Structure 1
């Protein structure tokens, strides 16, 4: 490998350099904990982090063995998440050797990764630095390490803590969904036990107790906030993301919604989302039959709404926030989605934070087959040639944007020649200066100004240098993952 290429590497949120000439540096362990508790990252041994000088390591194989010995010492680190494939020894052109160590994000059930047998020595990665976890963030990772987070049995709670109107609504929906006479007048306690909203306390006297999932889904607002002080559900309809004013709002704690719980919020907001979707007339190209645009988009936003409620971390002091804008919908919930963006888009992988509420919703048809929501959301966007959804997994929250407009409509806001360049990129994926001059009649100076503007806005990327430079539409991780899914589907359909 060329030494000069290494000199271009800079430290960042996912990159750390360590001199590590003869031994594993003490500072590595804070970085190991931070990367493992955040989004993962790469550490390179053999580059001085201060001078950026490539110093190499004295004995790469001994250093690797020393690293594994310490990683597997439980008194040093709470868990080892690095395997042989995560460490590469690389020899440079000048004979020096470096170690490249990939620290993956730790599985949620192993978080937080901490040091020296002390849970208070747990770190996260913020910018280029490793920072100790606050007590609130530490608690979030501890709670998040549980397979289920809404099955806690609640002592000193009973049916009086539940909202009767909500129970009646659900019982009716259960009967309508199943047409089973059993559910027409089923006793509420019997219904809750069948749903798993109440469970037997096998550790004490086999008494049935309310679960936290049952409380969140059916509870009275005051009873919910006794257990979850930060409980907050918000829906806004706005004209613009820049507006502080809203057209419509649904919020827990408001006088208009005195007994708001998860189920009432789900029902009310779903109806309001339905009203924001215009029944656009769209024909299928081959059959010339009308496509069910409104129904399909409502399915997509319903999946996103249910996804937010099922995966939220309700012990957070941050709200679940749903916002409807003219061009897109935004769903934000506290709690990092447990599956990766790739797994969410491809489907088939499900790791739900709130199993009890998921099961309750599935019984009335609000939640489909586990792991199918992501593919359904992306397939609707592809079907109507909409801008693909955006999925962001932050350390303590998850955001999903679903667009109602196609790329060409978004591009209409740009002046010429930026608009012509972007439309060309949608059709042909990339463009060069010569192609712009030949196919779009854009002169060299105009092209340079337009391209620089688009580069500054982060809309496009460039590859190559000089005359070989080509410009591409910048794709998010969501867009890239979905393009890979489509490619695999094409291969399966045509070659397997």
Structure 2
């Protein structure tokens, strides 16, 4: 039996390729790639549905029809499917066809069908859906993502929070051993660092978008970015309704106005939240676990702020729990997971914002912050960080506990459920926020029930799930 998920779609296809496979091609290409399996019939007697191989009759002819359609611009906006992506596979003695749809590069997106950009699809869980107008704009922005150096008309120094700018100048002066910077003219300082720039159209120096986001007053920022919201929340557990502490950008006195004000306030709070523990390493010296962990969270925070799509209507969220810290920003990460955690240069969406942190020696100048985050987790013997990327957002999770501290040996997709159920039985509705789709959630719970980790209590709407206590 076969199940559909984020990367697998099954279709019935006896004599001709089904017309309803093309929205899936669009969805896979715009999301994270995937494989369409032709020659399967849905069995709805199971929940979730399973797919049974029933085969195709004329595999070679169907493959040619698929390639002809894939290369027809009126059918598919870009020829994302190549002949090498298609294979004939024998399953249970029946011929089926596997079509691998790669994730399209940013410059080719969106991939749409029928010659109409409004026929752009996304993949969510096991389903394809039309992209909304807001989502379509986000995809188009990804093709030319960095506008941080663009200058703004009708903004001046009165739109800047001077207190935040002075703190940044002091940090920069200290980090670079240049005490004279503290007394340098503010606009000259900003000009020297590319934040106050010449408009080549009229020759006048003007504020860049990066300068406004980094040091602007909140009410000035929302004139350009109406949905600007940076939010740091402290809770014990992910399922808790009430928060213990919160820092967010607002108009209220005492709340941060901008990116840099938020960064300094959150770093101060995280220092207060991390206990000061030391560990003997190799019997030779003591490494400060606290500083290693804080350095990793600082890199993650800078990454989150530098890679965010500030044109989005989504907010930046930093969520601090007992067992993990989640950094979530609007906008798709512009490099792969492998590149992010590797020793490669980053490609920040907002390069001027990223450079402002680097120049003050607050972030990794090589852009290899992801690699440092991964190595910090290994040094501290913590769970490896997790990275989730969708066309609308990027989420990085840094664990605060090791596997032996948090839970028994479990696959990563079961850990959030296990932690949530430690507080007692919960309904599926109470667990649903942990999963990318209802199908995914039911599948994870079924796996945990089969493994005798979880048991069902009650039936139908009254069903609740609980951990099975180990004897």
- 2:451 and 2:172 map into 1 onto residues whose CA distance is 57
Q: Give the counterpart of 2:294 among 294, 298, 312.
A: 298
Deviation at 1:226, TM superposition (A): 0.9
Question: 1:163 touches 1:259 (CA, 8 Å); kept in 2?
Answer: no
Alignment-derived partner of residue 382 in structure 2 = 386
Alignment-derived partner of residue 39 in structure 1 = 32
- SS where residue 306 of structure 1 aligns? helix
Alignment-derived partner of residue 6 in structure 2 = 13
Note closer, same or farther for the CA distance 1:412–1:125 as it changes in structure 2 (3 Å cut): closer
Deviation at 1:197, TM superposition (A): 2.0
Question: 2:247 touches 2:255 (CA, 8 Å); kept in 1?
Answer: no
Note closer, same or farther for the CA distance 1:258–1:345 as it changes in structure 2 (3 Å cut): closer
Structural mapping, 1:94-243, within 5 Å: 94=93, 97-180=95-178, 183-202=181-200, 204-243=201-240
- 1:313 and 1:344 map into 2 onto residues whose CA distance is 17
Note closer, same or farther for the CA distance 1:248–1:46 as it changes in structure 2 (3 Å cut): closer
Deviation at 1:289, TM superposition (A): 1.8
| TM-score, scaled to structure 2 | 0.80
Deviation at 1:135, TM superposition (A): 0.9
Note closer, same or farther for the CA distance 1:249–1:93 as it changes in structure 2 (3 Å cut): closer
State whether structure 2 residue 73 is matched by structure 1 residue 74.
yes
- 1:70 and 1:198 map into 2 onto residues whose CA distance is 50
Note closer, same or farther for the CA distance 1:197–1:79 as it changes in structure 2 (3 Å cut): farther
- SS where residue 114 of structure 1 aligns? coil
Alignment-derived partner of residue 429 in structure 1 = none
Note closer, same or farther for the CA distance 1:85–1:412 as it changes in structure 2 (3 Å cut): closer
Alignment-derived partner of residue 263 in structure 2 = 266
Q: 1:290-316, CA deviations, whole angstroms, 9 ceiling, x for partnerless residues?
A: 112111111011011111111112122
Q: Which has the higher contact order (CA 8 A, sep 6+)?
A: 2
- SS where residue 385 of structure 1 aligns? coil
Alignment-derived partner of residue 311 in structure 1 = 307
Q: 1:81-104, CA deviations, whole angstroms, 9 ceiling, x for partnerless residues?
A: 33343222335675x543211112
Deviation at 1:140, TM superposition (A): 1.4
| TM-score, scaled to structure 1 | 0.76
Aligned residues: 413
Q: Considering only CA atoms, is the larger Rg found in Structure 1 or Structure 2?
A: 1
Deviation at 1:134, TM superposition (A): 0.8
Deviation at 1:216, TM superposition (A): 0.7
Deviation at 1:132, TM superposition (A): 1.0
- SS where residue 290 of structure 1 aligns? strand
Alignment-derived partner of residue 451 in structure 2 = 452
Note closer, same or farther for the CA distance 1:258–1:378 as it changes in structure 2 (3 Å cut): closer
- 1:396 and 1:360 map into 2 onto residues whose CA distance is 25
